Amino acid sequence: MAVQALDAARVPIDWQRLALPAVLVVVAYGLIPAYASSYLVEAILLPFLALSLAAVGLNLLTGYCGQLSLGSSAFMAVGAFAAYNFNLRVDGLPLAATMILAGISAAGIGVVFGLPSLRLRGFYLAVSTLAAQFFVQWALTKFGWFSNYNPSGVISAPHLIVAGFPLDGATGRYLLSVTTVIVLTALVWRLVNSATGRNFIAVRDNETAARVIGVPVLRTKLLAFAISSFIIGVAGVLWAFTYLRTVEPAGFNLDRSFQILFIIIIGGLASMRGAFLGAAFIVVFPLVLSRLGAFLFGGLFDSGVLDMSQRIVLGALIIIFLIAEPSGLSALFDRLKRRIGSRSS
């Protein structure tokens, strides 16, 4: 372990990265379906999984490729509504195909709103991705076709069936969600460790140098938008179909986009693990705060106070993270592990 601490600056070895995911798979498919209460699944794990996947998607674009986006929630909405419509209008379309088509729809929209990235950078790009946020929400509300002319605009999610097995129960939805997240995360993990992933990092770290050595900068940026939006789109399907069980434009507002951005800032940019740590934090934090508030202040701590204090504490935390630990929970985690490691040896 001491050697590991000395070599901290080196790039970690692959097998170490593989051990943790292996344990997680055992927990995800063995322990949780067997023992977790439906409250844990419905209120914590399902939103956690959907937000984690969205964060993995945004992290690919912002953390790895350096393109700041505030349109995540719009791409989630595109995914959710595309899945609803494919499911509604194409008879007998398998759920997996529905999700892939939803992802592709989100990727298409993502590429369109990624076009400004060819000219704009940083803050200006972030503002231009806001256009996606407002446009998508407007279009989904304006054109009734998207919600099948449902008078309230709120539609309930369809039955979830995979290969004849209904997955509408809490455990079934959990299994669908966790499988989707694992498969897509594994694919993204392979991508970021491939030559394409290194192109993303090259564009992020020095665009001019990347261009001169022959990285196709424009294509790389659009690819990052496409893949990122695909993943965020599928995350939108999970959010609407497995967690909320309804599909409505208002659920995918700007707050959600910020929430996903905060997840990757708190969790750690350009870190796969960071997306999950950040999402866990964002999901669990309000629950902890509400329990803690009720315990300390009793009846005074109502939902209004909870909402307000949640915003204040979260805002303060983000400022603290940006100043004290810009690499997020993921780096904090690493440092803790090293400290424990060096103490035990």
Footprint on this chain of another protein (rule: CB under 8 A): 9-11, 187, 190-191, 194-199, 201-202, 204-206, 208-217, 223, 227, 270
The two structure tokens encoding residue 336: 């803790």
Q: How far is the CB of 202 from another protein (least distance, A)?
A: 5
Helix axes 95-114, 72-89, angle to 10 degrees: 140
State the DSSP H helix or E strand holding residue 36, giving kind and residue range, or none if neither: none
Q: How far is the CB of 336 from another protein (least distance, A)?
A: 20
Query: Measured from the CB atom, is 67 or 133 closer to another protein?
Result: 67
CA–CA gap between residue 218 and residue 125 (Å, rounded): 14
Task: List beta partners, residue 162.
Answer: 165
- Which amino acid, 138? W
Query: Measured from the CB atom, is 212 or 284 closer to another protein?
Result: 212
Q: How far is the CB of 187 from another protein (least distance, A)?
A: 6
Query: Measured from the CB atom, is 223 or 283 closer to another protein?
Result: 223
Q: Please state the three-class secondary structure of 183-217 as a single string.
A: HHHHHHHHHHCCHHHHHHHHHHHCHHHHHHHCCCH
Query: Measured from the CB atom, is 156 or 194 closer to another protein?
Result: 194
Q: How far is the CB of 47 from another protein (least distance, A)?
A: 28
CA distances from 84 to 155, 181, 313 (A): 9, 19, 36
Query: Measured from the CB atom, is 22 or 213 closer to another protein?
Result: 213
CA–CA gap between residue 332 and residue 313 (Å, rounded): 19
Query: Measured from the CB atom, is 9 or 34 closer to another protein?
Result: 9
Query: Measured from the CB atom, is 214 or 299 closer to another protein?
Result: 214
CA–CA gap between residue 243 and residue 177 (Å, rounded): 9
Q: How far is the CB of 291 from another protein (least distance, A)?
A: 39
Q: Which residue in 241, 224, 219 sits closest to 46, CA to CA?
A: 241
CA–CA gap between residue 68 and residue 309 (Å, rounded): 27
Q: How far is the CB of 312 from another protein (least distance, A)?
A: 33
Q: How far is the CB of 208 from another protein (least distance, A)?
A: 7
For strands 246-247 and 161-162, give the pairing. unpaired
